[in-house]
Amino acid sequence: MKVLVAMSGGVDSSVAAAELRREGHDVVGVTMRLWGGESDTGCCSVSDVDDARRVAQQLRIDHLVFNFSEEFNATVVSPYVDAHRNGTTPNPCIECNRHLKFDRLSQRARLLGFDAVATGHHARIERQPSGVWRVARGADTAKDQSYVVHMLDQKELAYTLFPVGHLTKTQVRERASELGLRTASKPDSQDVCFISKTGGRETFLGHRIPFRRARVVDESGTEVGAVDAVELVTIGQRRGLRLPGGSPKQFVLAVDVEAGTVVVGDESRLACDTVMVGNTRWSHEPPALGASVLVQTSAHGVAREAVLEEIVGDARATNQVVLRWREPQRRVAPGQSVVMYDDADRVVLGGGIAL
């Protein structure tokens, strides 16, 4: 099989390419040039491209570079900026997967005659007896990335490979060491690639949108603090609110960008019974109303029990659903991904964006 492997310059994608090569596939590596600006984090730096190229040389496979910088800016960076401008909390790495790694890259791979695209994600793709494809959790629960690839539908799942999903991170590094790959001990990427360590989110956004000062008020409307940039505040935040010393811990309960107001209160006030999810995408058919699902609301969060209470509009379209928690949970910041698993917490059913 002819496979195009997305090589980010990290150890996981390096071993993914090596595993496919070992299995006898015709493997070509590709690095996507996404961010053209300053980068000292993530997977978009010059050194990362060089690491991917050198690993490809070690594996004796061809290495390509695709420039998707315009698409990256349009589908990831600009929406990230707009989200902050509007007071929501974006997840740019998931949008990069959605629009670049499993859309634009797959389109290019098909045009070039590849039979599949592979990445180094710690997740598994399984075909059930019914013939339905599902994303399953990776073997390494601490590194599981099924949450960030939840958007894959049947067409994409049938065309995608996750060669390291059955391995633990330790096993991945061991295999890289055995092969002498230069990425064997390279640290994992932890940050958004277009946000530099030196400047941070505040500097990046400050160059692109005007920051607005906002009042911090309690639930009675009494002003108790202030923030210089309401665009940087998110639901559940506790620090940076300029609250008087010695006061009880206060958490952000609501953000009103237009009114320039941030409402704070006790952490218990973040508890809610339901979460509304928009832009929902199912990997296959949605569960029946009333079905029990396990719901994860952050990349490394614990999945919690919920019931699919309502589907708004055509169940197969990207519409809204309402999930009711079995027990009250902390409110999910609007803009964050909400991913639904089966009641065994093993395979992804679908996911969307918290409203």
Neighbour count for residue 178 (Cβ, 10 Å): 11
223 and 285 both lie in a single domain: no
The number of domains in the chain is 3
DSSP string, 284-309: SSPPPTT-EEEEE-STTPPPEEEEEE
Tens digit of each residue's pLDDT (9 = 90 or more) over 296-324: 999 999 999 999 999 886 655 558 999 99
Distance between CA atoms of residues 339 and 204, nearest Å: 28
- What is the rounded average pLDDT of the residues 286-304? 96
Lowest mean pLDDT, pick from 105-109, 184-188, 328-332: 184-188
Specify if 193 maps to a domain.
Answer: no
CATH number of the domain bearing residue 277? 2.40.30.10
Distance between CA atoms of residues 141 and 122, nearest Å: 9
Confidence at 191, pLDDT banded by 50, 70, 90: confident
Confidence at 116, pLDDT banded by 50, 70, 90: very high
Kindly tell me if the per-residue pLDDT of 189 is higher than 70: yes
For 8, 50, 159, the CA distances from 65, given in Å and listed in that order, are 11, 11, 20
259 and 312 both lie in a single domain: no
Is 44 a catalytic site residue? no
Which residue range(s) make up the domain with 84?
Answer: 2-178
Q: Are 123 and 138 in contact (CB under 8 A)?
A: yes
- What is the rounded average pLDDT of the residues 10-35? 97
pLDDT of residue 289: 95
pLDDT of residue 257: 96
Confidence at 287, pLDDT banded by 50, 70, 90: very high
CATH number of the domain bearing residue 241? 2.30.30.280
Specify if 295 maps to a domain.
Answer: yes
141 and 82 both lie in a single domain: yes
pLDDT of residue 262: 97
Mean confidence (pLDDT) of the chain: 94
Kindly tell me if the per-residue pLDDT of 115 is higher than 80: yes
67 and 143 both lie in a single domain: yes
For 300, counting Cβ atoms within 10 Å of its Cβ (0-12 exposed, 13-18 middle, 19+ buried), the class is exposed
pLDDT of residue 41: 57
Confidence at 159, pLDDT banded by 50, 70, 90: very high
For 258, counting Cβ atoms within 10 Å of its Cβ (0-12 exposed, 13-18 middle, 19+ buried), the class is exposed
**Number of H helices and number of E strands within the chain?**
9, 17
pLDDT of residue 316: 55
Helical residues (DSSP H) of the chain, grouped into ranges: 11-22, 46-59, 69-72, 78-85, 92-96, 105-111, 154-158, 169-178, 200-206
- What is the rounded average pLDDT of the residues 255-262? 96
Confidence at 341, pLDDT banded by 50, 70, 90: very high
Distance, CA of 347 to chain centre: 17
> 322: closest CA among 309, 335, 332?
309
pLDDT of residue 247: 77
For 247, counting Cβ atoms within 10 Å of its Cβ (0-12 exposed, 13-18 middle, 19+ buried), the class is exposed
Tens digit of each residue's pLDDT (9 = 90 or more) over 50-91: 999 999 999 999 999 999 999 999 999 999 999 999 999 999
- What is the rounded average pLDDT of the residues 139-145? 96
93 and 240 both lie in a single domain: no
94 and 171 both lie in a single domain: yes
**43, 44, 93, 96: the active-site residue:** 96
pLDDT of residue 66: 97
Query: Quick one: CA dihedral 112, 156, 135, 325, positive or negative?
Result: positive
Q: Are strands 133-137 and 223-227 parallel, antiparallel or unpaired?
A: unpaired
Specify if 196 maps to a domain.
Answer: no
Q: What are phi and psi of 15, to 5 degrees?
A: -70, -30
Which of these three, 265, 287, 310, is where a domain ends? 265
Kindly tell me if the per-residue pLDDT of 44 is higher than 70: no
Which of these three, 248, 265, 282, is where a domain ends? 265
Tens digit of each residue's pLDDT (9 = 90 or more) over 26-40: 999 999 999 876 655
Which of these three, 265, 288, 303, is where a domain ends? 265
Which tokens in the block code for residue 300? Answer: 């490394």
What pTM value is reported for the model? Answer: 0.94
CATH number of the domain bearing residue 23? 3.40.50.620
Specify if 202 maps to a domain.
Answer: no
Specify if 183 maps to a domain.
Answer: no
Is 96 a catalytic site residue? yes
Confidence at 183, pLDDT banded by 50, 70, 90: very high
For 7, 35, 71, 216, 239, the CA distances from 4, given in Å and listed in that order, are 9, 21, 19, 50, 44
pLDDT of residue 196: 84
Distance between CA atoms of residues 206 and 208, nearest Å: 5
Which tokens in the block code for residue 202? Answer: 């505040």
Q: Assign 312 to helix, strand or coil.
A: strand
**44, 93, 193, 272: the active-site residue:** 193
Lowest mean pLDDT, pick from 111-120, 137-146, 238-247: 238-247
